[in-house]
Amino acid sequence: MTYKSTRGGAKGVCFSEAVLKGIAPDGGLFVPEHDVRFDSLELAEMCGMDYKTLAAHIFKRYAGDFTDAEIEYCVDRAYGSGSRFDAEDPAPVRKLSRNLSIMELWHGPTAAFKDMALQALPAFMSVALKKRRRPEAVSAGTDAQGAEDGNQSRSYDTKIAILTATSGDTGKAAMEGFKDAPGIDIMVFFPENGVSEMQRRQMQTQEGGNIRVVAVRGNFDDAQTGVKRIFGDDSFRDAMLREGWQLSSANSINFGRLLPQIVYYFHAYFSLVRSESITLGTPVNFVVPTGNFGDILAAYYAYKNGLPVGRLICAANSNSVVADFINTGFYNANREFKVTISPAMDILISSNLERLIYDVSGEDEKNTSKLMMDLRVNGSYNVDRPVLSGIRSLFWADKASEDETKATISDFWNQYRYLVDPHTAVGLNVYDKYVISTGDLTPTVAVSTASPFKFNRSVAEAVFSSAKGAAGASAADVPDTDNISEFTLLSLLSETTGCAIPAPLQGLNKKPLLHTGVCDKDKMEDEVLAFLRREDQSAK
Ligand SMILES: *Cc1c(COP(=O)(O)O)cnc(C)c1O
């Protein structure tokens, strides 16, 4: 399998290079050049596989230049014996009612779904890097672990420096993934006053010899703009390359992040077959809380690979650019950015939509380039009728307001004693609207993207406020969540609901702070240099 750009500027790129580059040289996104298709016989065979074997089976079809041994190494590190997930099944599916099941994607090291991909991407990169360094030595049976040999000649010695600006979840998941990855350093910038207390602690206590975290004096946009400026600065990039560093990013447009996400849609489907909720071949709907359109795009790829999918239900919060697009064909980012209780979905530019439009328009690279140019220049674009109806034949979309999201958290707690985080609640609220509007009772899997304990303030508010309304509860029984710290709330929520706090979120307030550096937004380059050269720097 080789890859090409959605804008026509690159073709025949192998998986390794697509993963190391992240974005195509023409600014487009890498997509597979050929269809991957599993027929019903093969699906029946895949249905019996455990997660790791299933992942390897699917990866083999996409990672064309990886040997079986290399793929084995990647899946083992991400989901096998070396795995950081808290159970053997990294994506357990729980049946809530006759037609509705929930797939929990938050059993990894940072308690959010980004771990599903970011536990695999670093392994892909290490293998790819090793191939690039010693192309002649790569064959089945070589040590695929990408370990440094120490005596390699300098000319092969390009390392990868991952730079990421984060509003909270991605940076932490990337660091956990890249921690101690051979030949890769990672630097994360977060807005000094723009993350939750839990998220700040998660980042500042991060361990690993190849990692640096620095707070930026400014908001998320300042941090993001700073990182983009560094990527766009040719002379800085060249200077880094001379010192042996290729800059790269771990954000969700990298195909190496999409590929691991395809696997769990198959896994959810097969879980329903194995539990006899459906028979093989029955269509299933998926509901996906959507931000950058990565997660739901992976569901679309699974559908194209032959998974029996009914509808893909795209759920947005009040920043509903994508949902509005699916309903009208008009993508319009010229609107107010709203800060919500589902912050990982607060986004106005959904980059991965480019891949869907390219595919549905029959791989029309000219049209895709034009639309993306419109987006850059005008902040908006319009697709043709046939493209829109192509999208709407599979996708259905709507949004959930803040109040609806909170009400959904309490409803699911009251009705099922099942605790959901605000992102998952957005999905469940939109699913409700879907059923009311269409009457479609096809078996459905709702994707749960974060542990409720990662967003415990809004979850506690929703759960405790519904307790307030309950008969027999006196106001004195109900805590005043406003005046309680996030760490106290965490234990309170766990005691009240009887749900266990995920291990990675426990004891965070007692861990030593390893990264207390703060820099000005125009000094980020200096921080990068100081870190990569391991010079004395303000960040320590
Ligand atoms: C990133 C994220 C999302 C959105 O996923 P996309 O792939 O960007 O659409 C939803 N929920 C949580 C908790 C996330 O971290």
For residue 397 the two structure tokens come to 């979309």
364-373 pLDDT, tens per residue? 999 999 999 9
Do 240 and 266 belong to one domain? Answer: no
Residue 388 lies in a domain: yes
Do 345 and 235 belong to one domain? Answer: no
Q: Can you give the pLDDT at residue 137?
A: 44
Q: Which pLDDT band, with edges at 50, 70 and 90, does 472 fall under?
A: low
Do 207 and 312 belong to one domain? Answer: no
For residue 353 the two structure tokens come to 């939509």
Number of neighbouring beta carbons within 10 Å of residue 11: 11
Q: Can you give the pLDDT at residue 195?
A: 80
The minimum-distance atom of ligand 1 relative to the CA of 289 is: 10
- Cβ of 293 closer than 6 Å to ligand 1, yes or no, is yes
Q: Which pLDDT band, with edges at 50, 70 and 90, does 59 fall under?
A: very high
Spacing, Cα 298 to ligand 1 middle (Å): 12
318-341 pLDDT, tens per residue? 999 999 999 999 999 999 988 899
340-363 pLDDT, tens per residue? 999 888 888 888 999 999 999 999
Instruction: Map residue 367 onto helix, strand or coil.
Output: helix
Cβ proximity of 409 and 428 under 8 Å: no
Mean of per-residue pLDDT scores for the chain: 90
Region 394-413: mean pLDDT is 97
Q: Can you give the pLDDT at residue 23?
A: 85
Region 169-187: mean pLDDT is 91
What is the rounded distance in angstroms from the CA atom of residue 286 to the CA atom of residue 427?
10
Show the domain range for 267. Answer: 256-448
Do 165 and 265 belong to one domain? Answer: no
- Cβ of 455 closer than 6 Å to ligand 1, yes or no, is no
What is the rounded distance in angstroms from the CA atom of residue 454 to the CA atom of residue 169?
10
Of 175, 186, 190, 176, which is closest to residue 224 (Cα–Cα)?
190
Q: Can you give the pLDDT at residue 303?
A: 98
Do 194 and 178 belong to one domain? Answer: yes
Do 313 and 194 belong to one domain? Answer: no
Cβ proximity of 161 and 139 under 8 Å: no
Percent of the chain at pLDDT > 90 equals 70
Q: Which of 35-49, 107-121, 226-240 has the lowest mean pLDDT?
A: 226-240
- Cβ of 289 closer than 6 Å to ligand 1, yes or no, is yes
For the chain, the domain total comes to 3
What is the rounded distance in angstroms from the CA atom of residue 110 to the CA atom of residue 408?
24
Spacing, Cα 534 to ligand 1 middle (Å): 33
CATH number, domain at 201? 3.40.50.1100
5 has which bridge partners? 30
Q: Can you give the pLDDT at residue 144?
A: 38
The minimum-distance atom of ligand 1 relative to the CA of 114 is: 15
Residue 142 has pLDDT above 50, yes or no: no
Residue nearest to atom 14 of ligand 1 (CA): 344
Alpha helices (H) along 32-145: 40-46, 51-62, 68-79, 114-118, 121-133
Do 267 and 163 belong to one domain? Answer: no
- Cβ of 108 closer than 6 Å to ligand 1, yes or no, is no
Burial class (CB in 10 A: 0-12, 13-18, 19+), 302: buried
Residue 149 lies in a domain: no
Pocket-testing residue among 426, 449, 505, ligand 1, by greatest number of atoms within 8 A of Cβ:
449
The minimum-distance atom of ligand 1 relative to the CA of 106 is: 13
Q: Which residue has the tokens 């079809």?
A: 61
Spacing, Cα 307 to ligand 1 middle (Å): 22
Spacing, Cα 300 to ligand 1 middle (Å): 16
Indicate the helix (H) or strand (E) that contains 519.
Answer: strand 518-520
Residue 146 has pLDDT above 50, yes or no: no
What is the rounded distance in angstroms from the CA atom of residue 131 to the CA atom of residue 146?
9
What is the rounded distance in angstroms from the CA atom of residue 318 to the CA atom of residue 97?
27
Q: Can you give the pLDDT at residue 234?
A: 86
- Cβ of 257 closer than 6 Å to ligand 1, yes or no, is no
